[in-house]
Amino acid sequence: MNAIAGKTVPIYEKIVVKPQAVHIGAEISGVDLSAPLDATTIAEIRAALLQWKVVFFRDQPLSHTQHVAFGKQFGDLTVGHPVFGYEPGHPEIYSVGRDRFKNRFNGPRLVRPWTGWHTDVTAAINPPAASILRGVTIPQYGGDTQWTNLVAAYQGLSPALRAFVDTLQGEHRFTPPEGNRATQDFVNKVAATPLVSHHPLVRVHPETGEKALYVSPGFLKNIVGLHPRESEQLLALLFEHVVRPEYTVRFKWEEGSLAFWDNRSTAHLAPVDIYDTDFERQLYRITLVGDVPVGPDGKSSVSIEGKPVVAHSVE
């Protein structure tokens, strides 16, 4: 172990870890992800992920099969997306294409500072533990993705407010972005796989013990037990807080880049600037099966509708 800025950090022997921002994000080099990794390398990547919340790799032109094989070294994989399906012939892979929302929503969005920020699939009782996104077709410029550290955001609250949010749960579900209208396709798919859950507003990380401000603006709709106006105002405060620039990192994609993030301690923002260009953008994502969140009071999340997202299996 080593000490940097007063923090104890791992010493890496198999990989090179280069931090990208103070609170979140590191680039890992010195490893070939297309081949099976040894136990030490897997452990070091996992340690870097837990420390930096999202890690990035460059020059890793993986196939779908290699992408899946890499992910399986860190845990069981879910189906590509429990509501919106998967890539034909590759059930663990979800296509993150430029125009994937065209069949889901229409109309202008109501844009707030936190619009678009989310943690993956928090409507499920056991949201994915981690996500691994691979860049294939990348714009000449633009199309960056951002992540925020929800542990740092929690620590940035006043002690009095931390003590209050420690006691609360919020309702997460799939709805159109504010201002958008749902298409019939969106309505049908959400009805076919209903997912609604109550999660603690503060989640205790199952591996590190850290407390994360578990608010996902894209999914979290209200705070359980508060009056509507109270819920609206507190959520606005928390949403604005978690996307403060000092908690974030911004990643510029290249072909063959991978981003691997801890879904239990981060939220992220997909780009919208690409819609002002004609550039194509195609990425692919896999997700690892997650556990049921637990709050500081020891209370677990509660499923209101739907089943847990389990490992994909061949039927």
Q: Which burial class, exposed, middle or buried, applies to 122 when counting CB atoms under 10 A from its CB (0-12, 13-18, 19+)? A: buried
Token representation of residue 303: 């499923």
Nearest CA-CA partner of 294 in 171, 165, 206 = 206
- How many CB atoms sit inside 10 A of residue 13's CB? 9
Q: Of all helices (H) and strands (E), which one includes residue 241?
A: helix 228-242
Considering the candidates 67, 199, 205, 268, report the single residue annotated as catalytic.
268
In whole angstroms, what is the distance from residue 31 CA to residue 55 CA? 13
Considering the candidates 118, 134, 198, 241, report the single residue annotated as catalytic.
118
Summary count for the chain: helices (H), strands (E): 6, 21
Q: Which burial class, exposed, middle or buried, applies to 88 when counting CB atoms under 10 A from its CB (0-12, 13-18, 19+)? A: exposed
Token representation of residue 149: 């550290």
In whole angstroms, what is the distance from residue 220 CA to residue 274 CA? 26
Nearest CA-CA partner of 21 in 10, 32, 5, 33 = 5
Residue 95 near residue 284 (C-beta atoms within 8 A): yes
Contacts for 280 with CB less than 8 Å, ≥ 6 apart: 98, 137, 139
Residue 230 near residue 238 (C-beta atoms within 8 A): no
Q: C-alpha dihedral over 74, 80, 81, 86, to 10 degrees?
A: 180
Considering the candidates 120, 172, 203, 241, report the single residue annotated as catalytic.
120
Is 120 among the catalytic positions?
yes
Residue 119 near residue 214 (C-beta atoms within 8 A): yes
Return the residue matching tokens 């845990």. 75
Q: Point out the residues that are catalytic.
A: 118, 120, 268, 285
